[in-house]
Structure 1
Amino acid sequence: MSYKNFPMVPRVVFGRGSFNQLNEILAPKRLNINAPFIYLIDDVFKGNEWLTSRISLSYDDRIIFISADEEPKTSQVDALVEDIILTTKERPSGIIGIGGGTLLDLAKAVSIMLTNEGETKDYQGWDLVKNPAIYHVGIPTISGTGAEVSRTTVLTGPEKKLGINSDYTPFDQVILDSELTKDVSKDQWFYTGMDCYIHCIESLSGTYLNAFSQSYGEKAFDLCKEIFLDDSLSEIESQEKLMMASWHGGMSIAYSQVGVAHAMSYGLAYLLGTKHGIGNCIVFDHLEEFYPEGVKLFKEMKAKHNIELPKGICADLSDEEFDIMINISLGLKPLWENVLGKKWEKTITPAKLKSLYKKM
């Protein structure tokens, strides 16, 4: 039997204020004065001196502010890559992504596409990337997505929402500074934190489960319970623990897979543009049949933090629109196999998915 030889992030710095070490971490990685560092930064930090003043730009280094209002798209990656190629004298020394899952996924994808020919959409799938990415660094400013540790970059393409899953995707360096998450709004904190919680539930109850993914999943699950149900944590403790829950949750799916909530939320994102965290929450709220204990606890957390999920987002959809979501969702075969095993198609039919989507 052959086992997956799984790549991990080789270098990670953890600690409040560790963002201050960015410049000294990058300095030895500069290839020459014509090979800039390109910073892709969530545009919520535009004009935020507290963060940007700590980045020292030299030579032709650039900051590109990007809105995270929409899910990252393959066309967006292509446009960024073209812009970088046209405005730099040489291939960049590195790409640094600073933001939530959207910015981290964009940074991973851009670093891959700078060394691989063709369009980004051609690489949506498993192990399609031929050449190693350029040096890339991930700095999360919100915790929960697991994008900082995963070997995938989730993108919406012209035909599907699917990650570039490859050994070249993970970051070369990650900086985990929980202080960067201090201004996240409560709703966003909850939705992204629940992305992590749902990673754990789907991994721990899946058919792909093994001791490797279980050990990370259980730790992330315990941290999520503490963060979202325990009143005794200070704000700083909560921020630090959620950052580690996100890391462990990302690791738990690395050697296994996610499940129903992710498969169905990809459909919502593709058709309606629903953001990943909130999409997972909307779907997971209706999945008692698959994850009875997990959903019960989720509803408890939702009530405790007075979170109102959007309702009726699928109320006015046509049959054709339902079919688009269903086809996107059914295309994610490894996820369904993780939920129900090899014969999943006997249980998960288009009619079954339609009845679930209609509840949302």
Structure 2
Amino acid sequence: MNKYIVYICSLVMLFMAACDPMDEVYEELDEANGGNGFPASELEFTLTEDDYGLIAKQLDSVEYFRSYEDAKEYIPALLDSLYPNVGGGSSATVTFNLYVPVFAEQEITLTGADYTALELEYPNLSSQSEIIAAADLKVPEAEDGDVISLTYDYYSSGQVTERTSLLGSLDGAWYTLFVPTSDDYQALGQSYPNFDDFGEATHNLPIYFNSLFPYAVEGETKVVYIDYYGGEASSYLIPVYFNDGSWEAPGGTIQFGKSEGIWVPDNTIRYTLSGSDYDAIAANEEIGSESARGNLASYGNFNTNSWSDEDILAGLSYILLENFPGYEEGQRVLVSFDTYPDGLKSMHVVLSGGEYILFEN
């Protein structure tokens, strides 16, 4: 009797393995998405308490990252766990708690040789950008949490005076730090000139900044140097951003991209061609054929019967260089554009050697 039961069960298992109704679906998805298995997705989310729990060991059980480098190292594994089936070319914009401990502080005074190295016309600084350039010159490989007290000669209103600025490094960039005074801490609701709770710091700082800096520029970033007491005294850097007309302190944000099955930090920007972009391409006699350009000017899309992929790429490269001349080598752009008869299509390109070329996932 047992022999027959085993035999029947074996047949059932064989049938189920051979006839999984999803097999054909998986195969079709794989073919449709270049072997990725699933379509590309565009994800955007903020880490939760449960998310931090998944990487608690690497973070010493705290619910924040101490540097952008730590976030770039540990978040990809979390993305694999949370979204195992998204396809190649997917992106994930992840926001996380970021409290960067101040690791090293040093005092630096600029010399005549430093002003010369900065290729300045006079031996002094005269703008915020020159202060940042001086910090880059003196500490070219700064890490998150590095802080310098920079003393320099500064020209303003017809006079040169000596100044000192406190600068901090965050995600590969230097910022002139906002250092709260005792009065600032009092206005921030603190009984002592320090914080003892990170959540309170990130809640109160934007409220205070809305009154201090109500006319900030959209996208402006300020990095705050806070004193913190959690059993012992320490100092941290906290970024605060001006977005949509108000200040906020969401933490850090990194965009990741999935390439060759691996999540990596990604600088891809998404851009969709506008009507004026099609007009500008159509007016450029060095791109495509005369008839193809005429068709583009008339209909506002790329007719793929007359526009080759190479010609479209040339058009995209031209318009991106015209619209965004400040982009640096290595910048990636996912460009969406209208075609006929296939409708909306996209090309993932990267700036290389002064032109945009296809980026290979």
Judge same fold: TM > 0.5, yes or no: no
Query: More strand by proportion, 1 or 2?
Result: 2
Of structures 1 and 2, the one scoring higher in RCO (CA 8 A, sep 6+) is: 1
TM-score when normalising by structure 1? 0.23
